[in-house]
Amino acid sequence: MTILDQSSVATVNEAAAASLESVIELRRAIHREPELGIDNPITQNRIAAALTDLPLDIRQGEGDITSLVADLNGSDGPTVLLRADTDALPMTEDTESSFASTVPGRSHACGHDSHVAMLVGAARILSARRDELGGTVRFMFQPGEEGYGGARLMIEEGVLDGVDAAYAMHVTPNAPAGIVSSRAGAMLASADTFTIDVIGRGGHASMPHYTTDPIAIAAQLITSIQTMVTREIPVFEPTVVSVTKINAGTTNNVIPERAQLVGTIRCVSPRTRIQVHDALERLVHTITAAHDASAEIRIDRGYPATINDSASVDLVADVARSLLGDDAYVPMPSPVMGAEDFSYVLEKVPGAMSNLGVCPADITDPSTAAGLHSNLMRLNESALSAGVAMHVGTALAALDQLRAG
């Protein structure tokens, strides 16, 4: 099925190609000055300046969050939201690029600089087609994706009011340049953290019978947690529980009073997520009780699983094939156990997240490219025009589909 007609395909691709130079320029400017968390004022100003001559209705976040929402109002009709995240990571960039981060300890290693630039490029192209737009396109520029839940804060601000469908795209250097991928249903996992304190009774390590050794109990807990995952969770519901930090003891001849375990829980469905939380609580309390110790467990809920609507994924696939070629869409074979706060948006409205391959041109095997969150992450800037085209094509096709449906 071709979702965009031939003349639309040609004009969208031409406009996206023509936008590339300015997209790269904006991406590099943002790249040089990365900002963290929900407070990204320099980036917000750059976005506002880049959109200033366009026929957009712009609202900037009030309070702590430097969000920016821009509406492009065509004729009366449905509203489609396109989202770009704007924040960087608290890590040093070690690439030797001419536009590397100028701020020590901060870098755009997750490529959100390119997300902003591509969405600004798309806003310009769609603005030029405003008269033929069968509804509204809302551009969501969202700070605080990297652990701050900026999407949830923007939902509280009302970014989803009146929205009928929502789409987002994430670059990845570990896929060939210009290849789009996604999957129906769970695409990314939920991410929760847990902290378990095992409380025993300390004493001399030569006389453990006078103590309640929390280290031995913690060790049993670690293996029991892995047994729980493999024996209680259906194999068709990918689940990861990793203990990533153990803290106990001070020296060789003292049994300490406490041992602490910290870790992460990744699930791809809300049902499994609850099941794992319940099982962890049960194991912690029963195993420590069995050894006459006690325990405290705290589970901090992070982002929910990112669940794509299947009709929206079909639309993205059709748009990719129409604009970028028959082989440009590759379905993801499995979810990725990372997490993403666009999940909060997809909890409220149907839509889809997709990945855009941006493997650097000098690397033949994308799996060997420095990936997201690497100090050496680089991306292929010429692939960004494909992302601009995808945003534009997705907005046009989604408005058509919503009007038809």
List interacting residues with Ni ion (CB under 5 A).
Answer: 110
Nearer to Ni ion, 83 or 321 (CB): 83
Torsion-angle region of residue 365: left (phi > 0), alpha (psi -120 to 50) or beta?
beta
SS3 378: coil
What is the smallest separation between the CB atom of 102 and Ni ion, expressed in angstroms? 21
**Half-sphere exposure of residue 310, counting CA atoms within 13 Å on the CB side?**
2
DSSP type of residue 173: T
Q: Which is nearer to Ni ion, 202 or 371 (CB)?
A: 371
Q: Return d(Cα 229, Cα 239) in angstroms, integer.
A: 7
Q: How far is the CB of 170 from Ni ion (least distance, A)?
A: 6
CB of 314 to Ni ion, least distance (A): 24
Taken in order 224, 229, 233, 234, the sign of the CA dihedral is negative
Burial 56-88 (b: 16+ CB within 10 A, else e): beeebbeeebbbbbbbbbbeebbbbbbbbbbbb
Residue whose CB is less far from Ni ion, 110 or 122: 110
**Closest distance to Ni ion from the beta carbon of 155 (Å):** 18
Whose Cβ is closer to Ni ion: residue 275's or residue 306's?
Answer: 306
Toward Ni ion, which CB reaches closer, 145 or 381? 145
Quote the tokens at residue 24.
């790269």
Beta carbon of residue 145, minimum distance to Ni ion (angstroms, whole number): 6
CB of 112 to Ni ion, least distance (A): 6
Give 146 or 400: the residue with its C-beta nearer to Ni ion: 146
Residue nearest Ni ion, CB atom distance? 110
Residue 152, token pair as written in the block: 């949830």
Q: Are 287 and 217 in contact, with CB atoms under 8 Å apart?
A: yes
Asked if 291 and 215 touch (Cβ cutoff 8 Å), the reply is no
Sheet holding 294-300, edge to edge: 239-248, 258-267, 190-199, 294-300
Residue 190 has phi, psi (to 5 degrees) of -80, 155
Which residues 6+ apart lie within 8 Å of 35 measured at CB?
41, 42, 43, 86, 87, 88, 106, 143
Closest CB to Ni ion among 9 and 116?
A: 116
Q: How far is the CB of 374 from Ni ion (least distance, A)?
A: 12
